[in-house]
Amino acid sequence: MRGPGLFLLPVSLSLEVSVGKATTISAVNGTEILLPCTFSSCFGFEDLRFWWSYNSSDTFKILIDGTVKNEKSDPKVRLKEDDRITLEGTTKEKMNNISILLRNLEFSDTGKYTCHVKNPKENNLQHQATIFLQVVDKLEVVDNTVTLIILAVVGGVIGLLIFILLVKKFVAFIIKKTQEKKKECLVSSSGNDNTENGLPGSKAEEKAPTKV
């Protein structure tokens, strides 16, 4: 009997679909936007099916539906719901790109766009990835002034702390050297006093000359 790990291994290494790192994108009304989608499969693919769907609060529809015969073929579109949509990807040279371009954007285009892929070579395993599109009147310009000020202040504080530490180390070094020099002078002076009369450790007492 096969263990459960033998069944989980193929799934963990099989079909994957990605719409990139950004899960939300914004575009200006009247312009165009590329909705990215790529897929990968360690088992390869044959007669692969893909489609894009749109979903909003009150609408669901299939935007485009197509197939890819094999890894040497480009995708073929079988159904397209909107003439504003074109397939921009290619599956040749292992690009596995089935991105779509949506032109002449309208505010009603705001919603979730999901890229679906089904691979018959993997027992019709299906996977999908979703990206949210927000159609706006104009893109907001991000003001980075506050961020730059904060970074400048933080950088200045860090620089000041480093300067204080360096000054502290320099002063400690000077004090240490000064103390070592004083210690050397004291040892030298004590040595001179103790050796005037050849007696170690103390000064020789002066004696009056002996009268004859």
What percentage of the chain exceeds 90 in pLDDT?
A: 40
Q: Which residues pair with 130 in a beta bridge?
A: 114
Tokens encoding 58? 């009150």
d(CA 129, CA 51): 11
d(CA 34, CA 102): 6
Measuring CA to CA, which residue among 96, 92, 66, 98 is closest to residue 79?
66
- Kindly report the pTM of this predicted structure: 0.61
Tokens encoding 30? 């009247």
Q: Are 100 and 35 in contact (CB under 8 A)?
A: yes
Instruction: Give the model confidence (pLDDT) of 202-212 as tens digits.
Output: 444 555 556 55
Instruction: Give the model confidence (pLDDT) of 88-103 as tens digits.
Output: 988 776 778 999 999 9
Region of 47 on the Ramachandran plot (φ > 0 left; ψ -120 to 50 alpha; else beta)? left
Q: What is the mean pLDDT of the chain?
A: 82
Check residue 170 and give its pLDDT: 84
Residues contacting 100, CB < 8 A, separation 6+: 34, 35, 37, 52, 63, 64, 85, 86, 87, 88, 89
Maximum Cα interatomic distance, the chain, rounded to a whole number of Å:
142
Domains and CATH numbers, the chain: 13-134 (2.60.40.10)
Q: How confident is the model at residue 169 (pLDDT cuts 50, 70, 90)?
A: confident
